[in-house]
Amino acid sequence: MLTKKQHELLMFIHHYLEDRGVCPSFDEMKEALDLKSKSGIHRLITGLTERGFIRRLPHRARALEVLKLPDAVLPEGLKNRNTKPSTGSPKENVVQAEFGNRSGDNSSADNGIVNLPLYGRIAAGLAIEAVTDPDSFVDVPQSMLDGGKHYCLEVAGDSMINAGIHDGDTVVIRDCNTAENGAIVVALIDNEEVTLKRLHRKGNTVALEAENPEYETRIFGPDRVKVQGKLVGLFRQY
Q: What pLDDT sits at residue 164? A: 94
- Of residues 25 and 68, which shows the higher confidence score? 68
- Of residues 131 and 10, which shows the higher confidence score? 10
Q: How far is CA 109 from CA 61, 89, 93, in A?
A: 16, 28, 22
Q: Tell me the average pLDDT across 24-30.
A: 81
Nearest CA to 232 out of 143, 148, 166, 172 is that of 172
pTM: 0.56
pLDDT in tens, 152-195: 898 988 999 999 999 989 999 999 999 999 999 999 998 888 89
Q: What pLDDT sits at residue 173? A: 93
The architecture that CATH gives domain 113-235 is Ribbon (2.10)
Q: Tell me the average pLDDT across 122-146.
A: 71
pLDDT > 70 fraction of the chain, expressed in percent and rounded: 74
Q: Mean pLDDT for the chain?
A: 76
Cβ(189)–Cβ(219) below 8 Å: no
How many Å apart are CA 195 and CA 124, to the nearest integer?
Answer: 6
Most confident of 59-63, 189-193, 206-210: 206-210
The yes-or-no verdict on residue 76 having pLDDT over 70 is no
Topology at the third CATH level for domain 4-98:
Arc Repressor Mutant, subunit A (1.10.10)
- Of residues 6 and 109, which shows the higher confidence score? 6
Task: Give the other-Cβ count within 10 Å of 73's Cβ.
Answer: 13
How many Å apart are CA 199 and CA 185, to the nearest integer?
Answer: 7
Sign, CA dihedral 26-28-34-37, equals: positive
Q: What pLDDT sits at residue 44? A: 84
Q: What pLDDT sits at residue 98? A: 30
Domain boundaries of the chain, sorted by first residue: 4-98, 113-235
* Positions marked active-site: 159, 197
